Structure 1
Amino acid sequence: MVILGSTKVGKTAIVSRFLNGRFEEQYTPTIEDFHRKLYNIKGDVYQLDILDTSGNHPFPAMRRLSILTGDVFILVFSLDNRESFQEVLRLKTQIYETKSCLKNKIKENIEVPLVICGNKGDREFHREVQQDEIEQLVASDDKCAYFEISAKRNENVDKMFQTLFTLAKLPHEMSPDLHRKVSVQYCDMLHRKSLKHKKMKDIGEAYGVVTPCARRPSVHSDLMYIKEKAIGGGHGKDKERCVIS
């Protein structure tokens, strides 16, 4: 999951709501934050890597790498900042163009699970982006949804994530409000119990744990991952090469 958008639109606040249900009033500029969350849903294990990107994007090649490795995307703008909405327009185009290169398809045929968020819905009085402009942005795109949210008030955040996971054909239990949040110690204890007992009363319960001190994979690992995705979706020797520049 890759979260993109201008500075000060609330990307990190949305991630904080998703991971720990908290909202920080103090603003701290994000250079790049990486998080990992593990789920156990009906006995199956899922790993979700979350990349919270910088709004300044000082290194275009790294942004392109983030898009190439990303599978699902959240684009965030602030309802009281028109320039941040224009940035989302540019980002959506860039994602489709970059993914079409990777999958050897034309941009019109690319499907990328993507949600656009108009954040700071608690500032309705200062609104600079109108509803009809947003509807035009997501029209005729089955893999793109739009939500007006407030990370501060926690309005529509859970619903937004549930829709994103549905678009990506992932379990809806990955949404923050549909699984039990547990500690790493609980997971260790549960694993030990599973080794002793074949039947467990918690087996049908969905739960998730945030991995402490998660580190983003190296650039080399990202490039190898991109290579595997390209080969998997390509057409043999005729496949175009995707260059990060």
Structure 2
Amino acid sequence: MTLPATIKKMRPSRAEPSVPARNRSRLVILGSSKVGKTAIVSRFLTGRFEDAYTPTVEDFHRKFYSIRGQLYQLDILDTAGRQPFPAMRRLSILTGDVFILVFSLDNRESFEEAQRLRQQILDTKSCLRSKPGGRRDVPLVLCGNKGDRDLHREVQPAEVRRLLGAGPARCAYFEVSAKRNSSLEPMFRALFAMAGLPGEMSPGLHRRLSAPHGEALHQALRAGRQPRAGPGGALGVVAPFARRPSVHSDLLCVRAQAGGRAKHRERCVIS
């Protein structure tokens, strides 16, 4: 799918606002083809649903927030359902902070692929340095999309519960419908809570700015000014013309997360 370009009328920004590293996160969306990954991203960014399907190669989006006097940046990587380069998928996982695994409730093969991807995420992230005193947690949500097609269901809730009960990893599960925009809001809230991110990042908890107001917010943020957030206390704007960081910069990020120690470098080889 191609996202509705509500922000195309905005002029290119000369520079993006500077966000502290601790307030920058990357959300990676994974799953088989035609399960609705891009539709979920579209709902998150614009509130819209596009029924036309266009295969995703890899889409990158960036959203800035002003929340309680602090700036936050959320990068969103919408990955291809069929990744011809396994090394790129591994790199996406290594650089991801939070994950949404999408499968279609009317497609058993997509559920089986989600199981494989879940294990790949856990195995891949295990090569990075653990938190002091324990393992590294991976905030992850399993998302059964197309909940509006109950008559064609091929995956039962009991099967998902058995999957989530296997292994130590935290993982929430939601059945959603991107088409009807149902259950997406609680899913995002749960994901951000698991990651320790502000709940206001969820679409329903901040004021989403239109293109003209978004440009004004960009100018204020670039100038270091805190905009007036209004009654809700939080604002969000999609960055126009955002570009995916280079592979080189992602590799440097992985090296830094691995701590530079030899055993971690060996386990985190991108191949």
Determine which of 147, 151, 163 is the counterpart of 1:125: 151
Deviation at 1:112, TM superposition (A): 0.2
For 2:237, the equivalent position in structure 1 comes to: 209
| RMSD of aligned residue pairs (Cα, Å) | 2.6
The equivalences for 1:121-200 within 5 A come to: 121-139=147-165, 141=168, 143-183=170-210, 185-186=212-213, 189=216, 192=220
User: Take 1:12 and 1:196, find their aligned partners in 2: how far apart are those partners?
Assistant: 32
Determine which of 100, 105, 112 is the counterpart of 1:74: 100
Instruction: Give the conservation status (yes or no) of the 8 Å contact 1:41–1:206.
Output: yes
1:57 aligns with 2:83: yes
The equivalences for 1:80-91 within 5 A come to: 80-91=106-117
Segments of 5+ residues of structure 1 without an aligned counterpart are: none
SS at match of 2:128: helix
Deviation at 1:111, TM superposition (A): 1.5
User: Take 1:160 and 1:208, find their aligned partners in 2: how far apart are those partners?
Assistant: 18
Instruction: Give the conservation status (yes or no) of the 8 Å contact 2:33–2:55.
Output: yes
For 2:139, the equivalent position in structure 1 comes to: 113
1:224 aligns with 2:252: yes
Equivalent position amino acid for 1:213 in 2: F
Aligned pairs, number:
240
SS at match of 1:74: strand
SS at match of 2:97: coil
Larger helix proportion, structure 1 or 2?
Answer: 1
1:26 aligns with 2:67: no
Provide the TM-score with structure 2 as the length reference.
Answer: 0.81
User: Take 1:110 and 1:197, find their aligned partners in 2: how far apart are those partners?
Assistant: 35
Segments of 5+ residues of structure 2 without an aligned counterpart are: 1-26
Instruction: Assess, with a 3 A threshold, how the Cα gap between structure 1 residues 150 and 141 changes in structure 2: closer, same or farther.
Output: farther
For 2:128, the equivalent position in structure 1 comes to: 102
1:97-135 residue CA offsets vs partner (Å, 9 max, x unmatched): 001112369xx9441000000000000010001111100
Moved more, 174-183 or 112-121: 174-183
